[in-house]
Amino acid sequence: MNKKAFYLAFILILYTSTFNACIEIEEYPEIPEISFKDFSMTLTTDILGNVVQKAKLTFHVVDGNGDIGLQDSDTIGVFSPDSIYYNDLFLTLFEKIDGEFVEKQLIVPHRYRIPYVEPQGQVKVLLADIQIAIDYTKGTFKSDTIMYSFYLYDRALNKSNVAETPELSIKELLSK
């Protein structure tokens, strides 16, 4: 390598390392933060021919150390099936009855296990949209207006904030 090429390479490396050192890495809290993003609902038929209301809830999550989600093998200790932490996402359904939102008592509560995702690179921040599918048999709702509240736990058992959907009109959702 001649002297001119060496100096050019040195200056390029110096410039690149100086430029990269000036890039500020945004920091996020290790306690997950979630926010509502979207909700949709369609009518469909299941494999037995029953009419089903298929809903999809989408929310955004920010976690500073990226420890969201559970592996299939996370089933012992605090993640055992008899522990509250076996599931990491919890939804509560509300129906509007006589102008007031009342919690809908479900036979099977809305509890989910978010799949484990390994953060890549040195910065473990997780910024993601998560989508949950929810199926209801036709006739589940007494009201046309519903809403959800939801929260999650990360693997360090930090509880996120509680997020809510806006009021949702089932008739409007199904007409889209």
pLDDT tens-digit series, residues 85-96: 999 999 999 999
* pLDDT of residue 125 exceeding 90: no
Task: List pLDDT tens digits, range 35-55.
Answer: 999 999 999 988 899 889 999
Single-letter amino acid code for the residue at 74 = D
Residue 55 within any structural domain of the chain: yes
Stretch (H or E) spanning 13: helix 3-22
Give one word for 21, left, alpha or beta, with left for phi > 0 and alpha for psi -120 to 50.
alpha
Q: Which tokens belong to 134?
A: 């929810």
Residue 115 within any structural domain of the chain: yes
Single-letter amino acid code for the residue at 58 = T
According to DSSP, residue 3 is labeled H
* Domain at 100, CATH number: 2.60.40
Q: How many CB atoms lie within 10 A of CB 130?
A: 19
**43 phi and psi, to 5 degrees?**
-95, 135
Decide which of 53 and 1 is more confident: 53
* pLDDT of residue 9 exceeding 80: no
Single pTM value for the model: 0.82
Residue 20 within any structural domain of the chain: no
* pLDDT of residue 147 exceeding 60: yes
Residue 70 within any structural domain of the chain: yes
Q: Which domain holds residue 95?
A: 27-175
Task: Return the percentage of the chain with pLDDT > 90, whole number.
Answer: 62
Predicted confidence at residue 80, as pLDDT, reads: 96
Residue 5 within any structural domain of the chain: no
Residue 114 within any structural domain of the chain: yes
Residue 145 within any structural domain of the chain: yes
Residue 64 pairs in a beta bridge with none
Work out the mean pLDDT of the chain and round it to a whole number.
86
Among the ranges given (17-31, 125-139, 162-176), the one the predictor scored with the smallest mean pLDDT: 17-31
Among the ranges given (27-41, 118-132, 137-151, 159-173), the one the predictor scored with the smallest mean pLDDT: 118-132
Domain count within the chain: 1
Residue 62 within any structural domain of the chain: yes
